[in-house]
A and B are shown apart, each in its own frame.
Chain A
Amino acid sequence: MGSPEPSDVNLPAAEKPETAIPFDEMGTAGQCRPHYELVRRWLDETPPELLALKRREAELLFRRIGITFAVYAEGGDPERLIPFDIIPRVLDAAEWELVSRGLRQRVRALNAFIRDVYHRREILRAGLMPPALVLHNEGFRPEMQDFEPAQGVYTHVAGIDIVRLGPREFTVLEDNCRTPSGVSYMMENREAMMRLFPDLFAHHRIASVAHYPEELLDTLQSVAPPNCQGEPRVALLTPGAHNSAYYEHSFLADEMGIELVEGADLFVDDNVVYMRTTEGPKRVDVLYRRVDDDFLDPLTFRPESVVGTPGLFNAYRSGNLTLANGVGAGIADDKAIYRFVPAMIRFYLGEEPILSNVRTFSCAQDGDLAYVLDHLEELVVKEARGSGGYGMLIGPQATQEQLAEFRAKLRAAPGDYIAQPTLALSTCPTFVEAGIAPRHVDLRPFVLVGRDIRIVPGGLTRVAMRAGSLVVNSSQGGGTKDTWVLED
């Protein structure tokens, strides 16, 4: 009661004081890590003017292809390019083996948790989580109770955000179980690098990422609904051209050779979903939907939604349609649920977590709130339901006014916030105005879950382009890098 000690679920594997020098992916001066040797030599030998030229070429390339990312902030270009950094982020085979083992474990536990939440809720019966946190959560969908989706899978495409704190220390910052985006950048970044620096590729054995669309299509076909007859027909449901990730939607549909549909292209007749084509209606079995739960079906969810299709949810529950990701998967990626993921891994799998969690304070609890208010200068405060790096406070970089503003917010609505220690995210050499300098990075690999689990080696590396900045979100001016996983 009122104890200053935070109520930990698990202690972080590594937490470095903010003053420590962060781990650098390439290594410290004079001590280059072996798998970075060729990249280092390339950087040493290439004059900065040539790098600058290549960067401009890259920008033209992206602009021409039309890869853009709309940002939901006022003003600015509605089709802004995400800055692309031409220096790759490199992981060796052993590092990737560790990460991918941890990802498989984590995503299995997340799916088991979602299934449990909509069935017997054993984890609540066992007293491992406060029931209100789950049952009163915005991400909880009572409509899903006792429904069994194909193969028991809820999150078919999971994007797990990982930061690195040390040589073997990979920590999960956030799970994205609903409609994670960014995979098109993973692929286009690779494409751009291969065009710009063919020589680099000739001297490395870099695991390919080009088969991601095939793996995704296989995964989606493996979760065809029980009533599907014959070869399942898959379509990608997009909110439309105004969505910030629209480029990705059209890119993936194109690469998989499936139709890119909007809500109005579909209709439901007798609980079966059809798309309107120039030759008449065609049945759809699996929808890779990039529309949020709330907007999927105006009959079941928000009635004012214009991007959904009436009747979709009943088709889903009738076994005539698979929605990927499943409805209600958001219960597993809520920021307040996050701190229980290690407990889920132990409870459902009987294993110890391979990837650690960041210590997280739930401001809804008195003890945690007192601690957070006392240590605000050291902590990162996030909205429990926010995403994209909007509305967050980074204590060590905040002004007195910002700190005071957040103290007031925390006191007014503590349940809306969580807090975490400021982490020393690893850095990676990055080409910036002043030359090559270290910048903080994270990594979002994409985990595909169908009949089995598949991970394309690599992911999207996001980089904070400003010196010292820890915010890598593209909506906040972050950039991206090509991510290499070296083969042995």
Chain B
Amino acid sequence: MLSRTADNLYWLARYMERAENIARIVMVGHRMTSLARSLGNSGNEWHSTLLAAGCEPAFFAKHAEASAPLVIDYLVRDPDNPSSIFTCLETARRNARAVRTALTVDMWDALNETWYQARGGGRFAATADLPALVDWVKERSLLFAGAYANTMLRNDAYYFTRLGTFIERADNTARILDVKYHVLMPRHEGIGGALDYYHWQAILRSVSALRSYHWVYQDRLKPWLVAELLLLRPEMPRSLLSCYEQIIRHLELLAEAYGGKRGECHRIAGELHAKLRFGRIQDIFQSGLHEFLTEFIDRSVTLGDEISSLYLL
């Protein structure tokens, strides 16, 4: 297939996934802020949300202060922000339109209808209800994921789409977990206090994993277990390990489809997968969760570049 077609499929899947994940990140910020306010400790939750979304420098180039309305506006609807939910939906649809012939009718319907709904009806108006908007974004993203998983031929076009979804999802799971690192804890509210507990709970909720946590651990929330669930557990579909299992699988399928040709991207993906597959959460905490996540996000970017240079250029 044309490299550009593969590139468009890969990126449209990434942007749809990103729209959903930014929505989830915004929801973490929203929950943490409400919690902090109810406990009488308003902190820097929105600033940490920006950091986690990777949007901090661009935001402060435009705004002086990370107030709730400004951050929400920037992450949800600002057309100048290439990762705002609205821009993601628009970019996904633009990518889709450029490769209409490579999409199934159901995929196109899902993307096209999402874009029409996003544009009309005030869904993205400043006055719109945030939780309702986040639910809508999740719903549309799930519809798209279902449409392509159920209708695409299992060939290279599908493998590139899958790669886009899971590269983006891994990146975002790492970022959501990292929100916690940036949130300043009030001096009297140490680790293990009520606020700390609610923060971890907010993170789990945002990745739809609170119930999964209880099923897996049957234990009260413990930070290292939350981190383990999101990083290392194979049964958790948004964990880094699950994402990387999908990534190496689809990179292998591509190599098979193209006569066994492999590249640096196969090696990096294998290396990262091994780290997750055989890593231990105690070791990660010992050397620093934030440091682990930062390195992981950087390596994911390199992996994306290597996939591009092997297939997409």
Contact = CB atoms under 8 A, between A and B. Distances in A.
Interface in B166-203: none
Interface stretch (B97-105, B207-215, B242-250): B97-105
Contacts of B313: 276
A253 B109 CA distance: 20
Interface stretch (A222-230, A259-267, A286-294): A259-267
Contacts of B259: 279
Given A278-B258, A278-B311, A265 B101 contact: no
A261 B98 contact: no
B97 to A, nearest CB: 5
Q: Which of A240, A253, A275, A279 has the most chain B CB atoms inside 10 A of its CB?
A: A279
A254 B105 CA distance: 12
A66 interface: yes
Contacts of B100: 66, 250, 254
Interface residues on B, range: 20 to 34
A317 to B, nearest CB: 26
Dominant secondary structure of chain B at its interface with chain A: helix
Contacts of B160: 278
Contacts of A277: 1-3
Contacts of A262: 4
B258 A279 contact: yes
Interface string B67-100: 0000000000000000000000000001001101
B156 interface: yes
Given A64-B109, A66-B108, A66-B112, A278 B3 contact: yes
A277 B254 CA distance: 13
B112 to A, nearest CB: 6
A254 to B, nearest CB: 4
B4 A276 contact: yes
Interface string A321-344: 000000000000000000000000
Given A278-B258, A278-B311, A254 B2 contact: no
Majority SS at the chain A contact face: mixed
Interface string A269-288: 00000011111000000000
A241 B4 contact: no
B6 interface: yes
A392 B313 CA distance: 45
Contacts of A241: 94, 97-98
Nearest to B258: A279
B79 to A, nearest CB: 15
Contacts of B112: 64, 66
A250 B160 CA distance: 20
A244 to B, nearest CB: 13
A66 B312 CA distance: 27
Contact of B3 (A64, A66, A246, A276): A276
B30 to A, nearest CB: 34
A278 B101 contact: no
B70 to A, nearest CB: 30
A250 B313 CA distance: 21
Interface in A225-249: 240-241, 246
A240 B98 contact: yes
Contacts of B97: 66, 241, 246
Given A278-B156, A278-B258, A260 B3 contact: no
B187 to A, nearest CB: 55
A226 B110 CA distance: 45
Contacts of A278: 1-3, 6, 156, 160, 254, 258, 311-312
Interface in B247-262: 254, 258-259
B255 to A, nearest CB: 11
Interface string B15-30: 0000000000000000
B251 to A, nearest CB: 12
A241 to B, nearest CB: 5
Interface in B278-313: 311-313
Interface in A41-74: 64, 66
Nearest to A235: B2
A240 B94 CA distance: 11
A260 B4 CA distance: 10
Nearest to A240: B98
A325 B259 CA distance: 37
A66 B259 CA distance: 37
A301 B156 CA distance: 37
Given A278-B6, A278-B156, A278-B311, A253 B101 contact: yes
Contacts of B3: 265, 276-278
Given A64-B109, A66-B108, A66-B112, A275 B2 contact: yes
A260 B1 CA distance: 10
A259 B98 CA distance: 12
Nearest to A264: B4
A190 B311 CA distance: 40
Contacts of A246: 97
A260 to B, nearest CB: 6
Contacts of B108: 66
B108 to A, nearest CB: 7
A259 B2 contact: yes
Given A64-B109, A278-B156, A265 B4 contact: yes
Nearest to B6: A278
Contacts of B1: 277-278
A94 B302 CA distance: 67
A261 B4 CA distance: 9
Nearest to A262: B4
B6 to A, nearest CB: 5
Contacts of B258: 278-279
Contacts of A240: 98
A76 to B, nearest CB: 14
A265 B2 contact: yes
A212 to B, nearest CB: 17
A66 B98 CA distance: 12
B310 to A, nearest CB: 9
B156 A260 contact: no
A250 B100 CA distance: 7
B198 to A, nearest CB: 45
26 contacts: A66-B112, A241-B94, A241-B98, A246-B97, A250-B100, A250-B101, A253-B101, A254-B100, A254-B101, A261-B2, A261-B4, A262-B4, A264-B4, A265-B2, A265-B3, A276-B313, A277-B2, A277-B3, A278-B1, A278-B2, A278-B3, A278-B6, A278-B254, A278-B312, A279-B258, A279-B259
Interface of A: 64, 66, 240-241, 246, 250, 253-254, 259-262, 264-265, 275-279
Given A66-B112, A265-B2, A277-B1, 13 more contacts: A241-B97, A254-B100, A259-B2, A261-B2, A262-B4, A264-B4, A275-B2, A276-B2, A276-B4, A277-B3, A278-B1, A278-B6, A279-B258
Nearest first, the 5 closest Cβ-Cβ pairs linking A and B are A254-B101, A276-B3, A250-B100, A241-B98, A278-B311
